[in-house]
A = this chain, B = another copy of it.
Amino acid sequence: MDPQANSSIEDSVKEACGIFGVFDHENAVELAYYGLYALQHRGQESAGIACLMDGRIKSYLGMGLVGEVFRDEFFAKFKSRHAIGHTRYSTAGSSNIRNAQPITIDYAGGQISVAHNGNVTNGWRLRRELEEQGSIFQTTSDSEVVLHLLARPEIRSQPDPIAAALRRLQGAFCFIFLTPEGIIAARDENGFRPLVLARLGPATLVASETCAFDMLGAEYLGEVAPGEIVRIDARGITRSRYAESKRVSHCIFEHVYFARPDSRVFNQNVHLVRKAFGRQLALEAPAQADLVVPVPDSGNSAAQGYSEQSGIPLEQGFIRNHYVGRTFIQPSQGQRDIGVKIKLNAVRDVVKGRRVVVIDDSIIRGTTSKGRVRRLRDAGAKEIHLRISCPPTRHPCFYGIDFPDPKELIANQMGSVEAICRFLEIDSLAYLSVEGMLKAMDKPGNFCAACFTGDYPVEYDAEFDKNAMEGARARR
C-alpha cells in the first residue's frame, strides 16, 4: 500500500485531463476503463471511475496509469450501467491522491460526482468567496469549486442549479457529472477543450476525444456545443444552453501537440491537420536536403506532409525504444544524457553523410531537442535542418494546459530563432507561422492561439491569483 502525500496549497498546477462517461450499458464500468485507456495520453498521474450501484455512487481512485489503477479486484466489485471516469496529468512532481477525480460528495441535494477537464480562471476568486461563506476545501483542484457552488442554498434553490453554477464559472471547463439520475455533460461557452458524444446500442457515451469511441465501435454523434448542458437519463438526452457562446476559441494546441492523431477534435482529424501543418511548413521554410526525418512519434504526421510537399523522401532516422517507460531509473553516476539516448537512437546507416530535415511538433525548453539533434550529428548527419510544425511557444496557458514558466521557454530565453539555432548547433531552424498554422483549420477564427500570440480570449487576472495564493500562504 503506497501512502499519498497531501500538501494542501502548493501544488496548484493546472492539469490537462481526459474524461469519459457512459449511460445505460450493461458493462458501463468496463467501457469507462477502456475509454480511459484510450485517453491515457491526456493524463498519466491518476485515474478514477465513479459509478452507480444500488442508487449510490461508488468511486475507485488511484495514482498511476489506468492499467495500474484498475485491476481484477476492481472489476469484481464494481458493476454498474452508469459510470464516469477521469485521468489526470500534472507536470509538477506532487502526486496527490486527494486531487484525483472523479470527486464524489454528499450535500443537501444528495450525492454527486464530477470529472473535470480544463481550468476555471476565476477559481481562486470563487474559492475565496465560498470560504467566506463557510466552505472548506480539501483539494487544491479548481474542480472542487463547482461542487461547492452546487451546494449553496441560493444556487440549489434555482430551477436549474447546474446551469446556475456553471454561469458563475469563467475559463475552460468540460464537466461530466454523475448523479443517481444519470449523467450530465457540460462545456464552457468558448469551447476551449473538446467534448464529444457517441451512441453504442442503447448507451450514450461522452468523451474528451473520439479515439475513445472508435475502440468501442461507437457511433460518433458530434460535439457537446460550447455553452451547452447535455443531460442523459431515463428520459433520454436533453440538450440545453446555459450560456450563449459569444466567441468560440478552441485550443489549437490540442491539434499541435496534445490530442491523439486518430481523434477528431473540433471536427477535424488531428493527423490530417498535422500533415497540413507539415505541408505549409515546407512552403514557408524549404530546405536543401536528402531526407526528411520525423522525431517519432510526435513529428510523424507533419514530416509526412513536409515530405509530400517538398518531394524530399521521408526516412526513419530515429528509432524509439518502446520499453523505456515510467520505470526508467538513471543511476546517479555516469553519463548525463543517456536518458535521451536510451529512448531514441539515430540510425547510422540511414543518416550518415546525409543532409537531414528533422521535423518535430514543438520545442519547449530546448534541452531535449538539443540531445536529439546531437544524436544525429554523432551518427554522421552532414547537415541538420530543424523544422517545427508550430510557432514558438512564448506565453502561459490559463485554460488547462500546464506549460513551464515562460522564463524557461527557449523562445523567450533565446529571443531570436537565430539564437536558438546556434544553441541547438544545427544548420538551420524554422517554425511554422501563426497564419500558416491557422490555414490548416476549417474555421481559423474559432481558435485560441494565446500560447503563441499572447492574445487571450478570456480575461485572466493572474495578479489576483498570485496574490490569493500568496495571501493564503501568508495567513498561515
Contact = CB atoms under 8 A, between A and B. Distances in A.
Given A260-B319, A308-B313, A323-B37, A4 B134 contact: no
A332 B71 CA distance: 11
B147 A4 contact: no
A27 interface: yes
Interface in A325-344: 325, 327-329, 331-335, 338, 341-342
Given A322-B322, A350-B272, A104 B329 contact: no
A245 interface: no
B153 A136 contact: no
Contact of A131 (B106, B127, B216, B324): B106
A71 B64 CA distance: 18
28 contacts: A1-B2, A1-B64, A6-B104, A8-B56, A9-B111, A10-B56, A27-B333, A27-B334, A30-B334, A41-B323, A55-B473, A56-B473, A56-B476, A65-B323, A67-B329, A106-B136, A106-B137, A108-B131, A110-B472, A136-B147, A136-B148, A211-B345, A216-B341, A217-B341, A262-B347, A297-B320, A304-B315, A322-B322
Given A10-B56, A316-B300, A473-B55, A77 B5 contact: yes
B7 A56 contact: yes
A285 interface: no
A327 B335 CA distance: 30
A336 to B, nearest CB: 12
Contacts of A438: none
Contact of A105 (B40, B136, B260, B269): B136
Contacts of A71: 329
Interface in A50-93: 55-72, 74-75, 77
7 smallest CB-CB distances across A and B, nearest first, come from A3-B62, A67-B327, A269-B349, A180-B476, A262-B319, A40-B323, A108-B131
Q: Copies per complex?
A: 4
A151 interface: yes
Given A97-B97, A105-B138, A314 B314 contact: yes
Given A68-B1, A304-B314, A107 B136 contact: yes
A34 interface: yes
A342 B40 CA distance: 11
A17 interface: no
B345 A215 contact: yes
A335 B133 CA distance: 46
Interface of A: 1-10, 27, 30, 33-34, 37-38, 40-41, 44, 55-72, 74-75, 77, 97, 103-111, 127, 131-138, 147-148, 151-153, 156, 180, 211, 214-217, 260-262, 264, 269, 271-272, 297, 300-301, 304, 308, 313-316, 319-325, 327-329, 331-335, 338, 341-342, 345-350, 378-379, 472-473, 475-476
Report which residue of A41, A59, A217, A262 has the largest number of chain B beta carbons within 10 angstroms of its beta carbon: A262
Contacts of A473: 55-56
B341 A215 contact: yes
A271 B316 contact: yes
A272 B345 contact: no
Given A38-B321, A472-B106, A476-B56, A331 B30 contact: yes
A59 B105 CA distance: 21
Contacts of A378: 217
Nearest to A217: B378
A373 to B, nearest CB: 15
A433 to B, nearest CB: 25
Contacts of A72: 329
A65 B3 CA distance: 11
A314 B275 CA distance: 12
Contacts of A345: 38, 211, 214-215, 260, 262
